[in-house]
Amino acid sequence: MTRIIRMIALLLIALLAGGVAAQDAADNYYLLQFETPAELVEYFRLDSGAGPIVVAHRGGGTFDGFPELAVESFENALRYGPAIIEVDVRLTADNQMVLMHDETIDRTTTGSGNVGDFTLAELRELRLVNNDGEVTPYRIPTLEEALAWAKDRAVVWLDIKNATPEQILEAVNAQDAGNRVVIAAYTPEAIDFYFTNAPEYLYTTPFNAVEDVQRVIDMGADMGHMIGLGGWDTPNLDIVNALAEQNVRTLVSMDRETDPAVLAGDLGVEVYQNIVDQGVMVLNTDNYPIVAEALGLGE
């Protein structure tokens, strides 16, 4: 059973599949905590009773003036609901794992060049820039720092850009963080490695056709430890239903078309509930505060 350490008042979702979402009334944070990887895995099962789960794309650095993939952005996202924090992992020149979506640092920092051309110490000298081009006081975090921050706070969704499965698993194991991570596995080799070496953890991989369900099973994946990546904006209901037959949730990302249309007023916020009503029970969004309110995550 999950322990709530920082909670002062108001349980939001009690003992859902062994996990607890709660609000820290003093700091207005919504916390999502699991004691074991098994509790996290069960929470993400389609029949867990957890309701729709919402992922804060790029760590929640797309609103309130915060930059992408800053620890401070993660913290801010938790003020709106029990967010799953999506992060992108890249390697530095000295083989350290940092959080950066783009191959270059030009768009999101005060520097310029490829991430892999800088050491960690050099990247630490930079400041993160938000989506309005404003320089913030925040620095590029490491994967190690993100995992440490997430303890007793949130679940971190690891989108791996160029780190190896061996490096990711070493970092997760070093902090005993299997109770707070979802790990992306994009290749047959990665799926085989993870399910051979850490079958107790929770993973995600793309499903582009119904036939991919059996293909992933044949790779050695345990579908009980899997979340399906179902593309962008418009769900393929054949895939959603095929995964549902395995008791697996499908994630659909809203950031390409749906999120911008909602911000522009071309779509109403009810579009997010409509997606959920089609069976998509994990949404990845740039509009986390809007989606959290639309789906009642903070109620």
pLDDT tens, 221-265? Answer: 999 999 999 999 999 999 999 999 999 999 999 999 999 999 999
Q: What pairing do the DSSP bridges indicate for beta strands 226-232 and 250-253? A: parallel
The CATH superfamily holding the domain 11-294 is Phosphatidylinositol (PI) phosphodiesterase (3.20.20.190)
| 3-state SS class at 248 | coil
Domain boundary assignment for the chain: 11-294
Both structure tokens of 103:
């191959």
List, for residues 26-51, the tens digit of each pLDDT value.
Answer: 468 899 999 999 999 999 999 999 99
Q: What angle do CA 252, 286, 186 make, to 5 degrees?
A: 45
Of 185, 240, 178, the residue nearest 41 (C-alpha): 178
Band of residue 23 on the pLDDT scale cut at 50, 70, 90: low
Of 16, 30, 57, 207, the catalytic one is 57
Per-residue pLDDT, 22: 60
State the pLDDT at residue 299.
67
106: Cβ–Cβ under 8 A, 6 or more apart, which residues?
A: 112, 113
pLDDT tens digits, 168-185: 999 999 999 999 999 999
Please confirm, yes or no, whether 101 is among the known catalytic residues: yes
Closest CA to 158 of 248, 220, 97: 97
Q: Which of 45, 79, 90, 101 is catalytic?
A: 101
Could you tell me which residue, 146 or 21, shows the higher pLDDT?
146
Active site residue 225: no
Residue 9 has pLDDT above 50, yes or no: no
pTM of the prediction?
Answer: 0.92
From the list 154, 173, 102, the residue with the least C-alpha distance to 131 is 102
